[in-house]
Amino acid sequence: MASIEVKSFDSPDEVRPFEGRGKVEAVTIGGRTVGRGTFEPGWRWSENVRPIAGTDTCQVSHLGYCVSGRMVVHMDDGTDMEVGPGQVAAIPRGHDAEVIGDEPCVLIDFGEIDEYARR
């Protein structure tokens, strides 16, 4: 018989700091990893995560809920989309992203983040 699991981002299984300006706190639950990303003002994937990932653009797909702040995602095909509080976003592989404004952007990510920002 399956049992219920409950975890909290207050005690994450793993914390993955970026190269400055934020971090991802990850919990593994139900066989999946869920992340809470805190992206500080001035954060940009190409500056703060690319050195960790080693790819030209982010090659992780995300399925996330924006708790606070704002971020704009720049797809490799030239499409840009802004994500803000209360919105859910499905972001495919092949993108850059940056925080806009002077408030941290907090995103809960249910996507393929097992290896995201992992050193």
Q: Is the pLDDT of residue 1 over 90?
A: no
pLDDT at 9: 98
Strand partners, 82: 72
CA dihedral for 91, 6, 67, 19, sign (positive or negative): negative
Which CATH number do you get for residue 45?
Answer: 2.60.120.10
E strand segments, the chain: 14-17, 22-29, 32-39, 62-68, 70-75, 80-83, 88-91, 95-100, 105-109
Q: How far is 98 from 107, CA to CA, in rounded Å?
A: 13
Question: Residues 91, 73: contact at Cβ < 8 Å?
Answer: yes
Report yes or no on 90 lying in a domain. yes
Q: Give the global pTM.
A: 0.94
Number of domains in the chain: 1
Report yes or no on 79 lying in a domain. yes
Report yes or no on 117 lying in a domain. no
26-80 per-position pLDDT tens digit: 999 999 999 999 999 999 999 999 999 999 999 999 999 999 999 999 999 999 9
Q: Which domain holds residue 27?
A: 15-109
